[in-house]
Amino acid sequence: MKLLRYGAAGQEKPGLLAADGTIRDLSGVVPDLAGSVLSAESLARLKALDVATLPVVEGTPRLGPCVAQVGKFICIGLNYSDHAAETGMAVPKEPVVFMKATSSIMGPNDTVEIPRGSEKSDWEVELGVVIGKTAKYVSVEDALSHVAGYCVVNDLSERAFQLEGTGQWVKGKSADTFGPIGPWLVTADEVADPQNMTLWLEIDGHEYQRGTTQTMVYGVAFLISYLSRFMSLQQGDVISTGTPPGVGMGQKPPKYLKAGNVIRLGIDGLGEQTQQVVAAE
C-alpha cells in the first residue's frame, strides 16, 4: 500500500493512493498514520479493505508528512562510501548517528526555507525507514520485521552550521522545513529489497545525485539492529539512512541552495518530492 496524509498543515487526514491514482480517505477507519496504526496487524487490516468503498478525495490536496507524531528522527551520516569520498571524510568504522529535530518535518512538496544567516544550505536524497514495531536489542536477521514501510527523505543540511562551528551536527540539520518526508509511506511488503533501490535528486532540472542503496556501507537491517542497542526504536520513528554522492558541498566548486531554486528528488517505487526554495523571513 501507498499510505499518505493530506490536507492543510496540522490538519492532515490519513489516506491511501488507490491503483487508479485517486486518493481515498481513511479517516473513517483510522485516526491517523501514527503509533499502533503502523503495526503489522493494523496494516494488514488496511490492506484487506475494499478500496472501492472508501471515499474519493476530490482535487489535488496538499500532501503532508506521510507519518504523524514522529518521536525520533534519526539520521545516519557518511553511509555511502562514494559520498564519504566526495566530502573528504573517511568511511566510518561504525555508523555515524545524529538526530534531526522533529520540528523540521514537513510535507514532500512544501516550501523549503533557507535559514537566516545561511550561505551553505545543501540537499541530500535519502531512503527513510519507518518503524512499525518496537525494536530493542534486535538481531540483524529479525530487524526488517520491525519496519512498517519506507519513504523518501530530503535530509536538508546547512553545512556551515553543521561542520564549521562547535558542537554537534544537529544544528545544521534541524532548521524548520529541513525534513520533507513522503509523498507516501510504502508498506514493507511492497519493497522487495531495500538494498536495491535507485535514488536521484535534481536542482532546476539538473541532476546532481543518482545512486543506489546497494552501495550503502551499512544496510537497513544492520542499522536497525545497531540503533536498537543504544535506544529503543518505537512505532513511527523515522530513520534516514544516508545519501549517495552529488551533494552541493561535493561539487567543484561547491554549490548551495538559493532562493528560487526548485528541488526534485525521488526513489524508485517510493514516489517523488518537489520543493520551491525561499529565504526565511
pLDDT one-digit tens code per residue, 191-223: 999 999 999 999 999 999 999 999 999 999 999
- CA 281, CA 259: separation in Å to the nearest integer? 12
Dig out the grid coordinates for 47 from the structure.
490492506
Which structural domains are found in the chain, ordered by start? 2-57 (no CATH), 73-279 (3.90.850.10)
β-sheet bridge partners, residue 190: none
DSSP secondary structure letter of residue 62: P
pLDDT of residue 82: 76
Dig out the grid coordinates for 106 from the structure.
514537513
Give the count of beta carbons closer than 10 Å to the beta carbon of residue 274: 15
Residue 83 has pLDDT above 80, yes or no: no
pLDDT of residue 166: 78
Grid coordinates 545512486 are at which residue?
211
Longest distance between any two alpha carbons in the chain, whole Å: 55
Residue 34 has pLDDT above 90, yes or no: yes
